[in-house]
Chains A and B, each alone.
Chain A
Amino acid sequence: MPQVIRLVGLSWPGIARSGRSFLTRWDEFDHPRRSRHDRYPAGAAREAGDLLSIPGSILGTRVLRTEDPRFLTTGGVYTEDVQDERLSGACHVFFARSPVAHARITRIDLSAVTAAPGVVAAFAGADLADLPEIRRAACPEMSRRVIATDTVRYVGEPVAIVVTEDPYQGEDALELVDVDYDPLPAVASIDAALAGETLLFPEAGSNIALTFGSEADLDPALFEGCEVVVTATIENQRLAPAPMETRAAAAAWDAGGRLTAWIPNQGAQGTRSSLARMLGIGEQQVRVITPDVGGAFGAKFGADPEHVAVAWVARRLGRPARWSETRQENLLGMTHGRAQRQTVTIGGSRDGTVSAYRLEIIQDSGAYPRIGAVLPELTILMAPGPYAIPRAEAIARSVVTTTTPVGAYRGAGRPEATAALERAMDLFAAEAGVDPAEVRRKNLLPPFTEPHRTAFGALYDCGDYGRALELALKAAGYQELRDEQAARRQRGDPVQLGIGLSSYVEITGMGDGEESPPQENATVEVHPDGTATILTGTSPHGQGHATAWAMLASDQLGIPVDKITVQWGDTDLVPEGGGTGGSRSLQQGGAAVRQAAMELVEIARERAADALEASAADLRFDRSKSSFAVAGDPAAAVSLAELAGRERLVVRTVFTAPGATFPFGTHVAVAEVDTETGKAWLRRMVTVDDAGNVLNPLLAEGQRHGGIAQGAAQALCEEFAYDPDGNPLTATLADYPFLSATEVPSFELADMATPTSYNPLGAKGIGEAGSIGATPAVQNAVIDALSHLGVRHIDMPLSPQRVWRAIQRAIQEAADEG
């Protein structure tokens, strides 16, 4: 157990240190708050038993998705597909975007545009002066406008709006937008930002947006007594989330001045708030409708300036407006992910025991700080991972650069923590001369069922990290793999084999402080025709909630899954909700659906008792008939549907979780490297991802597969790159190395389910775990394939050139020493 606890506080430049730091919020879990519904008492699930494996129940079974027949034939209805009478006669919005990374706009001339065929209107930034500035309270000088007025700070920043009658006229008209730029020096890298020669926001005084602790907080003696100390600087490179559906919006204002906006998003309620705030109007004046969403991965939360601009155009022109971005705009304009530089230092003894770990982060926030600027907080929180490291510390700084703003991307801050830690574990193992599996085995926290508070203040709900490790190693055939590796090394085969491990724990279902504990609402209604409707505050974009929530309700109500409709994403229908992200949906939203259905059955019981003139205690609910009957008298029965026919049968409930949950696992990647060319590929991927009980294995496996593929993609090929002048080098899908089916194998998933006591389902969040575990496992595997040559570290992505150079360097160093 930790002997020295070092908590690192947070600070904001220019603002006095506040007592309400992120870390103290976790203490509130010791003092549950009372709200309309009590927070679910952690531990109660243990008494409830394993709900997801009751014989005869559909919970825990592979129910096929009810959504699919539509998606497979007529296709999903994404925002660009929406046909609605409120949008008839819509004009089409296009954005002229800056071709330079950093410049003053000295002149903008839209006269040629407005004269072009089909152009309805054209606007420059000055025309949108009625819209408020977009700023973060923590770094108010680093603000922007919806459309840039005098300064652009990233290639792709919108500088003008062009509106046409027909979509094909838009690109023609854009070519006529005439802008003069007076270039300023680019600040296209973390180094350039820290050097501070050019400031993106002179009034801010530096390019540092936020800090989380400082070097003064670090203990210079942290590694005292360590026999082995290794330090390395690691790049967790910038990525483009690139969901298959790009961003889009459609907007229409009614005669009363109320906006209806169709936007692909991850939570209509949050999007409504963002839109309202950026338009400078009240939330009740905005209705957000969420069509089908073609993937999001963290980048479709809230609203972007372009969404606001579309709404503004519709209001200004008094007619509906639509926008759909090209892929190039998407790669430049949608927030990017990751983008951390990490310095890790790890120390311990030669037997493989780790005593100390330090993580120093510099976060590239892009040009305007968004959520990416604060994600290092989560990286810090999860820095020690699943290990019992006695002394650990972490600090971070977020800097601005003349690049696309950075936001959340699958894992949002936690993959970065695991990537740093798992690289550090392998570096330490190599230096100490201990097998990487053994190092992990030695240092993992022992199993625990009661919540465990880490030195960094996170309250892990339950975990059995050692078992996940052993299960993964066994499934992979670890010893046989090491044998094959040894044989190839002995023979000097040109294609070498590497085995990479990563043991991880991650945080899902976080709340957002005292004001918003982790919770979600659900409304369940049974109709007189025997069907049912669920309203949920979650916001699926591929996760299958329409089926999963129907399963949970069906299990309680006895109504078949295909007779249950799930609705979400329309703020008039569901005014409150937390959306879908951070892997929160099942443990909060699903739990709420189950709770609502149970409450509905109890209300129905009272009504049935009246209807049947019996006492409630004498009634039995028969799920197979969705009916109450008097015990011993089956003829005296009434169904939920019949009760609904007499009086509306509907319940709304809020499920409040005691806190975040912590799924965990181990990934074992097997990579091969062609040492003659440097090309590396993934041969096998074996994972254990324990997210507690599994509601629908089909859906859970799908989430794991998708996460693993994205995680492997980061290690092997993806990177959003800029040149030193801030010009993007990977702004099309031909240049941005998006994974195809030939770059990954089929995955081998081993199952382990350690139920959480934090909700009746015993479920944690699975959506991001795959990407968190996979990235460092794959990176470690490729490096491991070359460790006999002396290679110790290679930054991601592991492109052939990079790998080949690492081999050459290692060979050269060995020759120099020899």
Chain B
Amino acid sequence: MRVELTVNGTARSDDVEPRLLLVHYLRERCGLRAANVGCDTTSCGACTVLLDGKSVKSCTVLAVQAAGRSVTTAEGLGTPERLHPVQAAFRAEHGLQCGFCTPGMVMAAVGLLSEHPHPAQLTEAEVREGLEGNFCRCTGYHNIVRAVLSAAAQLDGAAS
């Protein structure tokens, strides 16, 4: 069936199977492979993208459920030449090692910061809770938390 949605600001129209998962739609149809599949049980968050500005696990959303909506992926957040402040903070704080969880982690962080009226007031505990849907095996989370707190201070008051 036909599905129409906006991906990183670009309108798209595609023929899809109802069971096509949004993450595979993004990776295979749109060629946006930053979001990764890391589990089968909606646990790990490596597939996290923004759906109408809210963080979701794209492995558990059907592409057809995103009809008429707007999706933002890590590729749409920033470019290597112009990193989004959250992406820049992850780099500055060494919040990534192998990188597999990173696009999902960044999108989850962007979602977290956007939902707080004053991100600079976020505590470490709130950041850790806000990221409980994203697993990382490499970093021990220490620098990820630092990166998000750093970005929060920079983005204070502003939406993502």
Q: Which residues of A contact B (CB under 8 A)?
A: 64-65, 67-78, 80-81, 168, 242-246, 292-295, 297, 326-328, 541-544, 698-699, 701-702, 705-710, 732-734, 738-742, 744, 746-747, 770
Contacts and interface: CB of A to CB of B under 8 A. Distances in A.
B41 A709 contact: no
A72 B100 contact: no
B2 interface: no
A73 B80 contact: yes
Contacts of B144: 741
B1 to A, nearest CB: 15
B31 to A, nearest CB: 8
Given A244-B38, A294-B36, A702 B129 contact: no
Contacts of B145: 741, 746
B137 A297 contact: yes
A168 B19 contact: yes
B128 interface: yes
Contact of B94 (A65, A292, A708, A738): A65
Given A72-B90, A73-B87, A295 B98 contact: yes
A689 B94 CA distance: 19
Interface in B52-91: 74-75, 77-81, 83, 87, 90-91
Nearest to A735: B41
Contacts of A738: 43-44, 135, 137
Given A72-B91, A73-B74, A741-B141, A706 B46 contact: no
B113 interface: no
A740 B44 CA distance: 9
Contact of A71 (B39, B96, B131): B96
7 contacts: A73-B74, A75-B33, A292-B99, A698-B94, A732-B40, A740-B132, A741-B144
B146 to A, nearest CB: 8
A543 B97 contact: yes
7 nearest A-B pairs in the assembled complex, by CB-CB distance: A75-B34, A709-B140, A294-B100, A542-B97, A542-B98, A69-B80, A71-B99
A739 B19 CA distance: 30
Given A242-B137, A741-B128, A741-B136, 11 more contacts: A69-B91, A72-B78, A75-B99, A327-B44, A699-B94, A702-B97, A702-B138, A733-B38, A741-B132, A742-B129, A746-B124
Interface stretch (B101-109, B114-122, B152-160): B101-109
Contacts of A706: 97, 137-140
Nearest to B93: A698
B33 A327 contact: no
B92 interface: yes
Contacts of A746: 124, 142, 145-146
Contacts of A734: 41-43
B98 A244 contact: yes
A369 to B, nearest CB: 26
B21 to A, nearest CB: 9
Contacts of A67: 99
Nearest to A246: B38
A747 B140 CA distance: 9
B14 interface: no
Nearest to A749: B142
Interface of B: 17, 19-20, 24, 27, 33-44, 46, 74-75, 77-81, 83, 87, 90-92, 94, 96-103, 106, 124, 127-129, 131-146
A705 B138 CA distance: 8
Nearest to B132: A740
B130 to A, nearest CB: 8
Contacts of A297: 137
Contact of A327 (B38, B74, B143): B38
A270 to B, nearest CB: 19
A244 B44 contact: yes
A76 B99 contact: yes
Contacts of A741: 127-129, 131-132, 134, 136, 141, 144-145
A471 B65 CA distance: 56
A76 B39 CA distance: 18
Scoring A246, A293, A295 by chain B CB atoms within 10 A of each residue's CB, the highest score goes to A295
Nearest to B45: A740
Nearest to B90: A72
A328 B38 CA distance: 10
A659 B83 CA distance: 43
A326 B83 contact: no
Contact of B98 (A74, A81, A245, A326): A245
A739 B132 CA distance: 9
Contacts of A709: 139-142
Nearest to A324: B37
B98 A294 contact: yes
A245 B143 contact: no
Contact of B137 (A69, A71, A244, A747): A244
A72 B35 CA distance: 11
Contact of B74 (A64, A72, A328, A742): A72
